Structures are given as structure tokens and as C-alpha cells.
Amino acid sequence: MKLVTFDDGQVGRIADDQVIELDVASVREFFERDRQAAETGRRYPLDGVRLRAPIVPKKFFHTAGNFREHHEDLARVNWSHPVNKGIVFFQNVDAIIGPGDPVVYPGQLTSELDYELEMAIVIGKPGKFFSADQAAEHIGGYLVFNDITARDIQRREMQSGVFSFSKAIETFCPIGPYILTADEVDDPHDLDMELRVNGQVRQKSNTRKMSVSIPQLVAYHSPQVYSAGDLITTGTVAGVAASTDDPFANYLKPGDVVEAEIEKLGILRNPVISWRDAYGTDAPAADSWM
């Protein structure tokens, strides 16, 4: 099932280029109800609805460094700090945007806006302190995530060993376009991944290259206590702008369009726009004590 949130917050599933509305208040509630929701009888053409972020979780767990190729890519250009497996932190759920929503470039805060293609896991069943062997029953589905990152801010944060501000600024968390339920993904460890900027391929890999498996990731975070609808990211792959020979030629800027795609999970497309285009005013001055 391809689950979506659309228009004014209605919930539906995609079938045959239509959205079939479900009688439930949110996708999170759909999972809280153990994936049980009747159809309302209303159907809409897919190209006639506005898709929103498919879910807003209670908790959003980040896993960084899970693809060794990403660490090796950054090490090759002597980037600030190593990005090995084992880095975990929370994402700001208020930064979530959906397909087609703009990433607003906060030029007063950063000049190094980067992309990171990732897969996210949707928790379908609450739980805590369970093993990797038990993880499958807690996985509700998967979706595409683009982990927008201000690299200049991240470097300063990593001096203390922790980073999250650089990834949690408003609009820095695109997810979507839909959630594909776990029963429709035969092997989540064999999905092609590709990210494009203005049609140019920047990242290309496969989920099989993860260092830590999805059941292990889900079990690892379980002591933090899951609610239905929580999200876990699986880390990005090689090819971010920061790892290129000329990062400033590849960092995102207003006018760019980013397409993050994972096999079976769809294409998450987001434009990058300026602060003025977003809000009609100059950006406010940025205060910093760092």
C-alpha cells in the first residue's frame, strides 16, 4: 500500500493513478490503529491532489555513518570529521516538508547547503527493548528522506562531537512522496538509490551497502521507546556536495531542483528557493555565540 497525506490533511492510498481516501485523521493514527482504516468512498485523481508530507512522527531518529562509502568519500577530501557508524541523534519534526515543498535557503545562516539521500523506516507498532529478530513486526513501511545539511554549521557542531542544528532548520527535512508499507517491499536491503540536482546525478548507490542492517538499526533504537509512526533514517551514501573536488560549485542554491529517488519508494522532488522568494522580505540577521 502507498500511503499519502494530501490536500488539507486527508489520508489515502494510491491505486491506479487515484487516491482512495481512508477514514482516519492521520497516517500516524493509521499505524496507531494497527493499520486498520475503512475507505470513505471518495476517490480523487492523483494528478488532481496536492501531496503533503506523508507523516509527522512523534519521534524522528537519525542514524549517520551507516554507509561506509559516505565516510570514505568525505575522508578522501579531508573533510572536517569522520562520519563512521554509530552516530545517532534526533531530528526536529517541525522541519518536515513534503513533496514539492520548497527548501528555503537561509543565506544568513549558511553558504554550504548540502543534500543527503536516505531511506527512512516507519515504525508500525510501539515497542521497546526488543531484538533484531523481533524488529520485523515493528516495521510499518519505508519512504524517501533528503537530509538537507548546512555543512559550515555542522563542522562547528562536530567540534563537540554532536550535530543536529545543521540538519534541523526549518524546511531542512523533506520526506515522501508516500509511505510504501513493509509488506510490499520484498527486500529493503536491495533498492537502488539516486539523487539528482537539476537532472544531474549526484548520488547513486544501493541499500545493500549499509553497514548495519535495518533490523539491527530498529532494535538498536528500541530502548528509546517507539510510538507507532516514528521514523528512523538509515544514513546517506557517497556523492554529497561536501565530498566533491569543488564543493561550492555543487552546494545547493536558490533555483535548484533536487530529486531524491529510491526504487519502489518514488521520487521526492523539492525546489530550493531564496528567503525573499519564500517570505517577501530580507532574511533577518542571524545571532550566534559559536
Q: Give the pLDDT confidence score for residue 160 in this predicted structure.
A: 74
Q: What integer pLDDT is reported at residue 287 of this predicted model?
A: 81
What pTM was estimated for this model as a whole?
A: 0.94
Three cell numbers, residue 149: 545539511
Query: Are the C-beta atoms of residues 92 and 173 closer than 8 Å to each other?
Result: yes
Let me know: does 230 contact 59? Beta carbons within 8 Å: yes
Closest CA to 27 of 46, 49, 2: 2
Which phi and psi angles does 42 have, rounded to 5°?
-95, 135
Q: What is the pLDDT of residues 68-115, one digit of tens each?
A: 665 576 666 665 556 665 677 889 999 999 999 999 999 999 999 999
Q: Answer whether 2's CB lies under 8 Å from 13's CB.
A: yes
H/E element, 15: strand 10-15
Across the range 23-40, mean pLDDT stands at 96
The alpha carbon of 267 is separated from its chain's Cα centroid by a whole number of angstroms, namely 12
The H-or-E segment that residue 23 falls in is: none
The answer for 34, left when phi > 0, alpha when psi is -120 to 50, beta otherwise, is left
Residues 6+ apart with CB under 8 A from 290: 156
Identify whether the C-beta of residue 229 lies closer than 8 Å to the C-beta of residue 27. yes
- Mean local confidence (pLDDT), 245-252: 95
Cell of 34: 494497527
Long-range contacts (CB closer than 8 Å, 24 or more residues apart) made by 45-50: 45/17, 45/18, 45/19, 46/14, 46/17, 46/18, 46/19, 47/17, 49/6, 49/7, 49/19, 50/6, 50/7, 50/100
Query: Across the chain, what does the average pLDDT equal?
Result: 92
pLDDT digits 0-9 by tens, 187-235? 999 999 999 999 999 999 999 999 889 999 999 999 999 999 999 999 8
Question: DSSP class of residue 161?
Answer: T
**Best CA proximity match to 214, nearest among 229, 245, 196, 235:** 235
Greater confidence, 243 or 81? Answer: 243
Please tell me the distance from the alpha carbon of residue 50 to that of residue 111, in angstroms, as a whole number.
31
The predicted structure's pLDDT at residue 247: 94
In angstroms, the CA 110 to CA 97 distance is 19
